Every structure is written in C-alpha cells, then in structure tokens.
Amino acid sequence: MIVFTQSALKREDFKKTEDVFNRVMNRDNIAVACLLRHKQDGYRVIVANAHIHWDPAFSDVKLVQVAMLMEELEDLTNKWSKREKSASEGAKIPLVICGDFNSIPDSGVYEYMSRAIIDCSHPEFQSHRYGKFTEVGMTHLFGLRSAYAQGPGGKEILPFTNYTPGFQGVIDYIWYGTSTLSVEAVMDGPEAAYIENVVGFPDPHFPSEYSPKCDVLTIVILLFLQNYV
C-alpha cells in the first residue's frame, strides 16, 4: 500500500514546507501496487490502483500525489527487478496503473502522466511550494499512455467516465507502459440514446457513479488474477 501522507513524510525537501502540512498531509488518499506472475509461463506484470484527491481547487495536491505515486512505483520496480536474474529483464516488467485520478485530460496530472515531465512553474501548482517538485519540476521514467487515448491526436475516445447531475467528464484512466504493452481493443461507453434518458449514474442498470469502463476494468483484473499469483 502507498499512503501519500507517509510518502510525503519520507521526503527531506518537504520537512520545512508549510504547504505540504497545510494542503497535503490532511488528505487520506492512497494507492496499492502488486507484482503478479503468471502461474504457467512466469510472465510478470506490475498492477497499481490509485485514488487521487477530488477537489478541483487543490490541483497542486493532485500533482504532488501523482508525483509521489510514480516515485513509489519506480522504487518498487527497482526492488522487484532485483529478484530477477537480469536487472535489464526486471526493468522491462510491464506496468498498468488504473484508478480515479479526478483530473480531466487538459489537466496537469494528465500532462505529467502522459508526457513524463512537468515544469516547476506549471500554473496548477498555484504558486505553492513543494520542495524539488516546484524547484526543478517533476519527471518519471515510465512511458505511459491512457488505454482510451485512441482518438485523433491521442484524444480520449470516451465522452465521460463519471456521469452525475453536477459533472460529466473523463477523470478515470487505465495507464499502461507502451514499451511492453499495447491496446488490442476497448469497450464503448453507454449508448447515447440511453444517456439522454438518465440523470446520471448510478442507476438501476449501472450501479456506480462511474462509467462501465471502470466495471470492465474490475472484471479484466479478476480474470487476470485467476492465472496469476
């Protein structure tokens, strides 16, 4: 389990930063990650699931949380790689990161996840101070892409993953490492004719506020786990 408040406490550059204690330390968001190995052929994959802070007014906290998430995943990848006979083989372990990022495709979180870098002066930091993140910027080592970024120019093809009376938009993602994985197919969202007749989700046919994309992901992971340990 990755507890973002604990990750923040481990950072020397956060210890004298008031914004960390006033804005990050009072959030209870977490992530989980595990290394799975296929029972028959030994194929391995790292799967992580995260829940990032929801409030649009705290875009800086979202950036800090995803940056710490990627640092923790890098540490875990290095740790798990050492178990392999070859370090280079370990570094190629496929990675899937899924979850509720509470961030639209035009956000700094999406930019960071998809481009692996974000400038220290990014406006979504809101002039708050977060150690090295706001001194030199944020980077990660994973080449990631959203599984549903299959439209022209890499545009997300679903109109929403969250559909409520107060908000409709894409905020949930399945990220995958492009060096080892590829997308074969994706599932469509609910039909437009159906959407026109509902106020939002959950409803009797979709028992979640999130789109079927998230439910399908749960099914895929469960099927996946049947063959992995």
| Residues catalogued as catalytic | 100
In order of 18, 20, 133, 172, the CA distances from 11 in angstroms are: 14, 11, 11, 28
| Distance from the Cα of residue 149 to its chain's centroid | 14
What SS3 string covers 126-194? Answer: CCCCCHHHHCCCEECCCCEEECCCCCHHHCCCCCCCEEECCEEECCEEEEEECCCCCCCCCCCCCCHHH
